Structure 1
Amino acid sequence: AEGKITEEERNGLAEKYKEDMRRMNEEISRGESVIALDELESMQEDLLKLFNERFDQLSARIEDLRIRSGF
C-alpha cells in the first residue's frame, strides 16, 4: 500500500495538525493582545495630554480672573 497511510498515521497527523492550529491560535491571540495593549496605552497617553492641556488652560484662565478681580 505504497503512498497510503494507515488510520493510526492519519490520526497522528490530525492530532499534530490540531496541536499546531491551537498553538498558532494562541500566538495570534497573544499578538492581538499586544496590539490592543499598545493602542490602549496610546489612547491613554492622548487622553492625559488632552486633559493636561485643558487643565492648564483652565488654570491660566482662573489666574487671569484672580488678577483682574484683585484676589
Structure 2
Amino acid sequence: MGELISIIANGDKIESQPGKPLPELITELGLAPDKVVVERNRAALTPAELRETSLEDGDVLEIVRIVAGG
C-alpha cells in the first residue's frame, strides 16, 4: 500500500489514498454522491466537478446532504 494523504471531511481528519475519486470517498462515508453538495477548499463544486475531482493532500471538504422539503 502506498503513502497516504490527510484530508479533513466535515471537521474529521481522514487518511486516504492519493488520487482517490471524490465520489468514492463520499460513498465510503455512507452517502450518495448524487445526494450531496460538496465544498472543497472553500469552493463549491458543481455535480460535474464533483464527479471529476480526485483527492489531494490537505483537502478540506464540507459535505452536506441534500434534503427535500416542502
After TM superposition, the score normalised by the length of structure 1 is: 0.20
Give the number of the structure whose alpha-carbon radius of gyration is greater: 1
Could you say which structure has the greater relative contact order, defined with CA pairs below 8 angstroms and 6 or more residues apart? 2
Structure number having the greater strand percentage: 2
